[in-house]
Amino acid sequence: MKYDKNSGITDRLRLNKKVAPYVFISPFFILFLIFGLFPILYSFFLSFNSWDGIGQMSFVGLDNYAYILTDDWFWDSVRSTIIIFVLTTIPQHLFALTLAFILNSTFVKFKDFFRTSYFLPYITSAVAIAIIFDVLLGHRSGLINAFLIWANQLPPVEFLFQTFNFDLPARWLGEPRLIRFSIAGLLTWRFTGWNMLIYFAGLQTIPKSLYEAARVDGASIRQVFTKITLPLLKPVIFFGVTMSIIGNLQLFEEPFVLVGADGGTGRAGMTTAMYLFRTGFHWRQFGEGSAMAYVLCIFIIILSLVNKKLFSGGGLNELRQ
């Protein structure tokens, strides 16, 4: 290694071993103070004020919170957010777990191909995907309706549609009930691969010897899955679901592009994040928007805690003990 020990710049920049770590971690903390912590505190301050960003700011006490908590649109948005969350999280994780489990079994070939394929939707931009789905879900020009109309010629399908009173062509992006399914469908399509990958990574950490031992004991696939795989995957499931909670409760981009800034018919696709965006940046009510952000934050914390209760424990460590 050749460098000049006495070169001025190196000398002056030479860090003391005691000081060095502080210097190394300080960029994060400095930037975080400016761009992270300060806005959060400022948001708290704003939530007690009324301001449109141009005129005078006025202190309104708890009015903004009172307003949010008695606002029908806010609760509608919370309902939509949670319905979409449930509609997408459950199939997402079920599919992901199943796919990962199959891919992890020894006999499957082309593992890389399958994994790469499933993960593809995740890397593409939400906006681009939403535009594609907008066309796929079109009322009269959409592929999905065309497919369903074709399938409707088959008697069992026709019977099914009639039983559920499902009219074709369906207004996937026009009818409130269907809007949420459409958004959830898009999310499921986009994030199943990501969850699959996480589960797959988790499965890989389970020692093969455990499976072999189970096989020797004559356990069926189902038993292996419920007795070994699931308990050991608990921490991974916890991680995956936590990510889903944090991501979905702040859901914005997909519905924003798919049904528009106003959330579509009956605001069925207006998530809380979109309502916050609309309140803050469309109507310029910064105070209410900030209060809404705090209320939403509390919801996320509560849900995360519930999730923690459900999935805490398990994993390899526990098994070893």
Partner 1 sequence: MFSRKSLLLTVMAFVMAASLLLGGSPEIMAEDVTTITVAAFPDQDSGFEAILDDFHEKHPHIRVELEVADFDDHHQTLLTRIAAGSNVPDVANVEIAFVGDFVNRGGFENLTAEPYNAGRFEEDIIGYKWAQGTNDDTGNLIAMPLDISPGTMFYRRDRLDELGVDIDDLNTMEDWIEVGEEFVAEGDDRWLFADAASVYEMIRRSGDHQFFDDDGEPIITSDKFVRAFEMAKEVRDRGLDGQIGEWSNEWFSTFEEGTALVHTSGAWLGGHIQNWMAPETAGKWGVTNLPDDMYINWGGSFVAIPEDAENKEEAWEFIKYVTTNVEPQIKQFEAANIFPSLLDAFDDDIFEVSSDFYGGQNVRELWLDAARQIPEVNTNRYDNIAEDIVGDALTEVLEEDKDIMQALEDAEELLRRRMR
Partner 2 sequence: MNYGNKLESNTQQKAINIIKKVILYSFLVAGVIVTFVPFLYMFLLATRSRAEIFSSIFSLAPGQSFMDNYQILISNVPIWRNLFNSIFISTTATILTVFFCSLGGYGFSKYNFKFKDTLFFSMLATMMIPGLLSIIPWFIMMNFFGWIDTFYPMIIPGIANPFGIFLMTQFMNTIPYDVIDAARIDGCGEFEIFLRIILPMSKSGIGALSVLTFLGSWNVLMQPLLILQSRHMWTLPVALTRLADQAGIDHGAAMVGVIIAIAPILIAYMIGSKSILKGVMEGATKG
Footprint of partner 1 on this chain (CB under 8 A)?
1-2, 52-55, 63, 67, 71-73, 138-141, 171, 174-176, 261-262, 265-267, 281-285
Q: Is 299 exposed, middle or buried (0-12, 13-18, 19+ CB in 10 A)?
A: middle
Residue 22 binds what, of partner 2, partner 1, none (CB under 5 to 8 Å, by partner type)?
A: partner 2
179's CB contacts (< 8 A; 6+ apart) are 172, 173, 259, 264, 265, 268, 269
Which lies closer to partner 2 via its Cβ, residue 107 or residue 164?
A: 107
The reply on whether position 36 binds partner 2 by CB under 8 A is: yes
Q: Residue 141 or 162: which CB sits closer to partner 2? A: 141
How is residue 283 annotated by DSSP?
S
Q: What are phi and psi of 59, to 5 degrees?
A: -75, 130
Total residues at the site for partner 2 (CB under 8 A)? 105
155 touches partner 2 by CB under 8 A = no
Helix/strand/coil percent split, the chain, to 5: 75, 0, 25
Measured between alpha carbons, how far is 74 from 167 in angstroms, rounded to an integer? 30
Decide which of partner 2, partner 1, none touches 308; Cβ closer than 5 to 8 Å per partner kind. none
Closest approach, Cβ 253 to partner 1, in A, equals 16
Contact 293, 43 (CB under 8 A): yes
Least Å distance between CB 141 and partner 1? 7
- In the set 24, 59, 166, 283, which binds partner 2 (CB under 8 A)? 24
Residue 164 touches partner 2, criterion: CB under 8 A = no
Query: Which C-beta is closer to partner 1: that of 34 or that of 305?
Result: 34
Number of CB atoms found within 10 A of residue 289's CB: 24
Closer CB to partner 2, 178 or 259, in the complex: 259
Q: Is 17 in the site for partner 2 (CB under 8 A)?
A: yes
**In the complex, what is the shortest distance from the CB of residue 227 to partner 2, in angstroms, rounded to a whole number?**
15
Report the sign of the C-alpha dihedral through residues 47, 52, 53, 59, in that order. negative
Residue 10 contacts by C-beta under 8 Å, 6 or more apart in sequence? 3, 4
Site track 125-154 with partner 2 (rule: CB under 8 A), x = hit: xxxxxxxxxxxx---xxxx--x---x----
Closest contact distance (angstroms) between CB of 195 and partner 1 is 33
